Amino acid sequence: MHLKNALRAATALTLISSVGASAETITIATVNNGDMIRMQGYTDDFTAKTGHTVEWVTLEENVLRQRVTTDITTKGGQFDIMTIGMYETPIWGANGWLVPLDDLSAEYDVDDILPAMRGGLSHDGTLYAAPFYGESSMVMYRTDLMEAAGLEMPEAPTWAFIREAAAAMTDRENDINGICLRGKAGWGEGGAFITVTANSFGARWFDEDWNAQFDQPQWKEALTFFVDMMNAYGPPGYATNGFNENLSLFQQGKCGMWIDATVAASFVTNPNDSTVADSVGFALAPDTGLGKRSNWLWAWALAIPAGTQKEAAAKEFIEWATSKDYIELVAKNEGWANVPPGARTSLYETPEYQEVPFAKMTLDSINAADPTNPTVDPVPYVGIQFVAIPEFAGIATEVSQEFSAVYAGQQTVEEALEKAQALTNDAMEAAGYR
């Protein structure tokens, strides 16, 4: 009897110690945005399910990018999971810096990830980061102002219509700008917007031999169109406006239209923050009839740096955070409008989510984006608002600074394009592409 009890006690002790040994503390580097902060609040659910605890390092997007790049290249090993975007994932995956996510469990249902997201977060067909949320860009507009202007927004407008509507809605006396767009320097800010605009005008960053294309008429047409429209109907000082500045203007009722990230839809329709929450409509990003719309594709995704000692626990976290169950958890507690959008097909098949006003347009916008075939003419790169090569961030930041100088009235379109052409070709030559 004593022997039996002793055996039972030993077995219990072994079980307890084995659970204790497998419980890890993982460190996650992440960005400061609404969905990510919300996820931090649900960490207890993950800990209760797996026993693992989580330490968060939240940083501003650009600081995070520098921090995790340094950590991964110096093998610092400070993070077990990194929040990275669609630009970094294929490059880092190709370098062998990330753990392939090719053995996720059957319950996770990897095939449920939206194909555009899965493609953008893979290299050579292998998934390297799981999307936490995804976004494209679309037109958000004031239905009341549009009606007052006697116009009707088509589901898929052209740039010509956008310009006409901007002219009709502009009311300088009442401080209403027909259109608000990003002009702020930075490859992920104004640089991203002018790149997708140029795509729809038939322009491209490089030809198939990696020669810069800023000397082509399509770039001149796109940039001139943008500058003329914004000077006439945009807010004053738009050269320094990014996402936040435009969000603020739109929420205060000072923009007739705003073309930007689809995630903004939940902000502008939230009556707690937005004064125009009940009069916002959505449409696809505009085109010029050449077959490419001016919408981008982006995802904030969770990836595991190669070399982490806690790979198994990190994978468990990724499976939890990007699962269908997590979406249901958020929906149950905070409503369907607040679940992380743009990552899973099943979300858009959920009847409750289909009732969310911006759900359909978000999905249509994501589906309209093709990172492997982003421009009218063929290109040697992947990426819509970026070119997935390591040199791009530096080059595009400089180019966007030249463009911002045009928006600020400090130089002409021709001067900016000439400088962009020269600096891009120089950088590409130095990097060995040409």
Q: Point out which residues bind other proteins (CB under 8 A).
A: 27, 29, 31-34, 37, 40, 55-63, 66-67, 70, 73-79, 188-189, 242-244, 247-249, 251-252, 254, 261, 263, 267, 272-273
Residue in the structure block whose two tokens are 């659970």: 19
Tell me which DSSP letter residue 61 carries.
H
Helical residues (DSSP H) of 257-344, grouped into ranges: 264-268, 311-321, 324-334
Shortest Å, Cβ 160 to other proteins: 29
Q: Is 432 exposed, middle or buried (0-12, 13-18, 19+ CB in 10 A)?
A: exposed
Nearer to other proteins, 55 or 352 (CB): 55
CA distance 67 to 59: 9
Residue showing tokens 């419980």: 23
| Contact criterion met (CB below 8 Å) for 372 and 382 | yes
User: Can you state the percent helix, strand and coil of the chain, rounding each to 5?
Assistant: 50, 15, 35
CB of 25 to other proteins, least distance (A): 9
Q: Which is nearer to other proteins, 28 or 169 (CB)?
A: 28
Q: Which is nearer to other proteins, 60 or 355 (CB)?
A: 60
> Between 126 and 270, whose beta carbon lies closer to other proteins?
270
Q: How far is the CB of 7 from other proteins (least distance, A)?
A: 41
Q: Which residues contact 329 (CB under 8 A, 6 or more apart)?
A: 42, 45
Question: Rounded CA gap, 238 and 249, in Å?
Answer: 11
DSSP 27: E
Nearest distance in Å: CB 213, other proteins: 28
Q: How far is CA 169 from the centre of its chain?
A: 29
Min dist. Cβ of residue 419 to other proteins (A): 24
CB 132 to other proteins: min, Å: 13
Task: Please report how close the Cβ of residue 248 comes to other proteins at its closest, in angstroms.
Answer: 4
CB of 94 to other proteins, least distance (A): 21
Cβ distance to other proteins smaller for residue 33 or 211: 33
Q: For residues 306 and 376, which CB has a smaller minimum distance to other proteins in the complex?
A: 306
- Closer CB to other proteins, residue 88 or residue 287? 88
What amino acid is encoded at 192 in this protein?
A
Number of H helices, E strands in the chain: 19, 10
User: Closest separation between CB of residue 253 and other proteins, Å?
Assistant: 11
Q: Which is nearer to other proteins, 202 or 235 (by Cβ)? A: 235
Beta bridge partners of 62: none
Phi, psi of 171 (to 5 degrees): -140, 85
Residue with tokens 């000072």: 254
Q: Which is nearer to other proteins, 18 or 73 (CB)?
A: 73
> Cα separation of 224 and 71, whole Å?
41
Question: 3-state DSSP call for residue 66?
Answer: helix
